[in-house]
Amino acid sequence: MVACAWRNPGPWLVLACLLVSGCASGGSRPLADQQDYSSQAYYRTSMPPWDVSGNLEQTLSAVLRVQVQGFYDTYVFEEGVAPTIDELRGVDSDVLSRSSDEDTSTLIRAATAVLVASVGGRGTLVTTEHGITLPDTTIAFFSSEDLSRSGTRRIQTVS
């Protein structure tokens, strides 16, 4: 047999009265004075209660797109004459002349920046490093290890 907790109906009666009175109220409070948003009706918000559309438009004008462009000369080497890293770092000037093909390519990166200060037509931007930094040299190695002599890997391309 399950015992019922109806012995003290006081808390249940108070709860029922609160529910009934809450559902019966019409919410007939007068509306608060509203600001005129007709001049800048692009942005409306409930927090903060004042018009912030001018601030948002000013912030949006401070967000810029920056673009970085890098030009690379790529040298392609054949398996038999491929240099090593040590040869590339050395003072031997004919290493790049051993290449079988030469190509020029372009790498472009773009990022978003925020203008934090501007004086006299010059500005200070804050952005991410990976969006504006390009490598100065890229190296690709041959994948087969039997091409290496004395444990040194051979370079396939250098840009």
Q: What is the pLDDT along the chain (159 residues), one digit of tens a residue?
A: 455 555 666 676 767 766 666 655 555 545 454 555 555 555 555 666 677 777 777 778 888 888 999 999 898 888 888 888 888 887 766 888 888 889 999 989 999 888 888 888 888 888 888 888 888 888 888 776 554 455 677 788 888
Q: Rounded to whole angstroms, how far apart are CA atoms 98 and 103?
A: 14
pTM recorded for the entire structure? 0.51
Torsion, Cα of 34, 36, 41, 44 (10° steps): -20
Measured at the CA of 42, the angle between CA 38 and CA 48, to 5 degrees, comes to 90
Contact of 126 with 101, CB cutoff 8 Å: no
For the chain, counts of helices (H) and of strands (E) = 4, 5
Contact of 123 with 141, CB cutoff 8 Å: no
Residue for token pair 């002599």: 149
Backbone angles phi, psi at 88, to 5 degrees: -70, -35
Torsion, Cα of 135, 155, 85, 100 (10° steps): -90
Q: What is the pLDDT of residue 71?
A: 92
Amino acid at 140: A
> Sheet harboring 139-141: ordered strands across?
122-126, 101-119, 63-76, 155-158, 139-141
- Quick one: 7 exposed, middle or buried, by C-beta within 10 A (0-12, 13-18, 19+)? exposed
Q: What is the dihedral sign for C-alpha 10, 11, 14, 15?
A: negative
